[in-house]
Amino acid sequence: DTAVSQTPKYLVTQMGNDKSIKCEQNLGHDTMYWYKQDSKKFLKIMFSYNNKELIINETVPNRFSPKSPDKAHLNLHINSLELGDSAVYFCASSLMGGGETQYFGPGTRLLVL
């Protein structure tokens, strides 16, 4: 059984388009995260939600909007895509937060042309 799943795995799109990435976890965790990993493999947190409540909102353009319909799901919508948005986006979850182990999804590879 997949613990943290993301769809789609690959996303190729044109500049200016709007796209969404979905994440689901079946671990019963309360906290979910979105990370961006750039071409240099640097992994940086974007958002975190605890039981549907936004906890962390890093310095991310407001074209990025997360939504958590319930504590098992965290989606990421991106408006007006730009070339610099090309990256791998990872969803993760943890039991609570802070010093808890985070479990990562397989990643969504986004390429903006």
Give the interface with other proteins as residue ranges (CB under 8 A): 31, 33, 40-45, 48, 50, 55-56, 90, 94, 96-99, 101-107
Closest contact distance (angstroms) between CB of 77 and other proteins is 21
Compute the distance between CA of residue 77 and CA of residue 25 in angstroms, rounded to an integer: 18
Closest contact distance (angstroms) between CB of 33 and other proteins is 8
Cβ closer to other proteins: 13 or 37? 37
Three-class HEC string of 56-102: EECCCCCCEEEEEEECCEEEEEECCCCHHHCEEEEEEEECCCCCCCC
Cβ closer to other proteins: 95 or 113? 95
Q: Torsion angle of alpha carbons 88, 37, 75, 53, nearest 10°?
A: 170
Closest contact distance (angstroms) between CB of 93 and other proteins is 11
Cβ closer to other proteins: 67 or 97? 97
Closest contact distance (angstroms) between CB of 100 and other proteins is 8
Cβ closer to other proteins: 12 or 55? 55
Residue 22 exposure: Cα atoms within 13 Å on the Cβ side: 7
Residue 68 exposure: Cα atoms within 13 Å on the Cβ side: 21
